[in-house]
Chains A and B, each alone.
Chain A
Amino acid sequence: MKQQEFFSSRWALIIATIGIAVGTGNIWRFSRIVAQNGGGSFLIPWVIFLLIWSVPLIIAEFAIGKSTRMGPVGAMAKTAGRKFGWMGAFIVFVSTAIMFYYSVVTGWCLRYFFSSVSGNLFKVDDYHVYWNNFANGYEPLLFHFIAISFVAFVVLRGVTKGIETVTKFLVPSLLIILFILFVRAITLPNAIEGIKYFFTPDINVILDHKVWLNALTQNAWDTGAGWGLILVYAVYMKKKEDIPLNAALIGFGNNAISIIAGITIFSTVFALSSVDAMTQVSQSGPANTGLTFIYLPLLFSKMTGNDTINLFFASIFFLALFFAAFTSLISMIELSTRTMIDFGLKRKRAVGIIVVIGFLLGFPSALNLKVLANQDWVWGVGLILSGAFIAFAVKQYGIDKFRTELINGYGSDIKIGKWYNYIIGILIPIQVVVLILWWLISSVSWDPEWWNPLHVENAGTAIFQWAIVLVFFIVFNKYIVAKTLNNNLD
């Protein structure tokens, strides 16, 4: 099968990939995690893990996608060997499982945007009750449907006419909105207290291992490194395009946007919160929704004495959140679509199947926050395994050969040195083992029935669900790999 579509330029590729990386994780998860981990103390390990987790894995994904011109299943089979195609299938499954509930979350953002624009958001007495009424009703289903349908329309149009055109509009718009919110937030009275907290380190907290592990998890989450999404967009990059510089731009660009979002949220909360500001930022609420859907609307209503201006800022905040979620959702559906195209299906049919499945399997998360929290836990931690599989593929290929031939090969503007070998070969495996063990051991300590797969967040439910998926793909590995590779013989 010949490659037919490409991103039209380096900038189109970078904008689309920034669209993957910048999602709700940068805006609401980042601020919450910073607050829960000592503000400035968290930022130092967070920057370190950008360098030793995110950027190296983004480079690897770019190189694998560009060289194999296939989605994760074919890409892993070609890079690591046919025996390991199941790893690619697992990567696809994890991101697709996240897509099921991420579409629901995208729908929430859209719903709150509509509530802001219509003015209904400020006619609320109790934002907790307002959120609960919405989340426990049937409205999330409707907005989940709208979100996934919009994305289907974009992905159906293909890479150039669909993904590139839409992200070229949405990503710059998102950045402009964030900048407007940033300027408004830092000019609020008392905003400096939020900025101070955001950047003040506490030496005792820096030495806490949990802060380091949370910093690594946040990097794994919000840069999109190891999800397989960047790998799929790299399939559509031209041969002459560079890898290392583009990967660095995406990693650093993503974290730069997180800083802007963090300063905005902290300034707003410290300036407008009448009670303990930190409690408001760090409280999770149901399925970690507290800050965004319960406390921020309340704060926006108090931003100025003028309700119209307040509604404007609330509206553009939820619009930014929707744009961020939407561009990430596009990449998740493109990942599944590309995998099915590799499997022999036409794009139209593949998108149709994915969207119907995505809509149906998003039902439980749309109707029950406990299901959403469970899926978020299981596949969120599963992403670390996905990252490990990508590093494993590089190792199987030969790290030095991978670096010199695929990364530093034709098109590269800058050359990557031998440091890359040590990061992929030593540091990433260490990070994976430590992180997964820590998450699982922690979950044992917070749930006496840690083995029970029916609980929302514990070791048992994660291992049980991973095991089902892994066993399935390992058993059918031969068939999946053969079907994928045979359909793509040049």
Chain B
Amino acid sequence: MEISTIITMVLVLGIVWGGLAFFLVRAIKYEKVKFKNGKE
């Protein structure tokens, strides 16, 4: 596999899947905090 392919793969997967994982973890964290505070 060419280096440019690997870079694109890392970049695209990193931003899209990395971004999704990042926001998902934060959302779960905030939901837990809300649950603890008795907002649910």
Contact = CB atoms under 8 A, between A and B. Distances in A.
Contacts of B31: 10
A256 B30 contact: no
B12 A249 contact: no
Interface of B: 1-2, 4-6, 8-9, 11-13, 15-17, 19-20, 23-24, 26-27, 30-31, 34, 39-40
8 shortest interchain CB distances as A-B pairs? A252-B20, A413-B30, A199-B9, A252-B19, A200-B5, A40-B8, A248-B23, A43-B12
A413 B19 contact: no
A349 interface: no
Nearest to A47: B15
A200 B30 contact: no
B12 A414 contact: no
Interface string A253-265: 1011001000000
Question: Dominant SS at the B interface?
Answer: helix
A44 B11 contact: yes
A158 interface: no
Contacts of A83: none
Nearest to A202: B4
Given A245-B27, A252-B19, 17 more contacts: A14-B27, A40-B4, A40-B8, A47-B12, A50-B16, A196-B1, A199-B6, A199-B12, A200-B4, A200-B8, A201-B5, A249-B23, A252-B16, A256-B16, A256-B20, A259-B16, A413-B30
B17 A256 contact: yes
A48 B2 CA distance: 23
A246 B27 CA distance: 8
A259 B13 contact: yes
B15 A200 contact: no
A10 B20 contact: no
Given A40-B8, A196-B5, A259 B17 contact: yes
Contacts of A201: 4-5, 8
A240 interface: yes
A376 interface: no
14 contacts: A10-B27, A43-B8, A44-B8, A47-B12, A196-B1, A200-B4, A242-B30, A245-B23, A248-B19, A249-B23, A249-B27, A252-B16, A255-B16, A259-B16
A253 B15 CA distance: 11
Contacts of B30: 242, 245, 413
A50 B24 CA distance: 17
A245 B26 contact: yes
Contacts of B23: 245, 248-249, 252
Contact of A259 (B1, B12, B39, B40): B12
Nearest to A253: B20
B16 A47 contact: yes
Contacts of A245: 23, 26-27, 30
B37 to A, nearest CB: 11
Nearest to B19: A252
A248 B23 CA distance: 7
A246 B24 CA distance: 9
Contact of A413 (B4, B9, B26): B26
Contacts of A255: 16
A73 B40 CA distance: 32
A246 B20 CA distance: 11
Q: Which interface residue of A47, A199, A255 has the most chain B CB atoms within 10 A?
A: A199
Contacts of A9: 40
A165 B14 CA distance: 33
A259 to B, nearest CB: 6
A45 to B, nearest CB: 11
Q: Which interface residue of B13, B17, B19, B31 has the most chain A CB atoms within 10 A?
A: B19
A50 B12 CA distance: 11
Nearest to A249: B23
A92 B24 CA distance: 31
A62 B13 CA distance: 26
B13 to A, nearest CB: 7
Interface in A207-265: 240, 242, 245-246, 248-249, 252-253, 255-256, 259
Contacts of B11: 44, 47
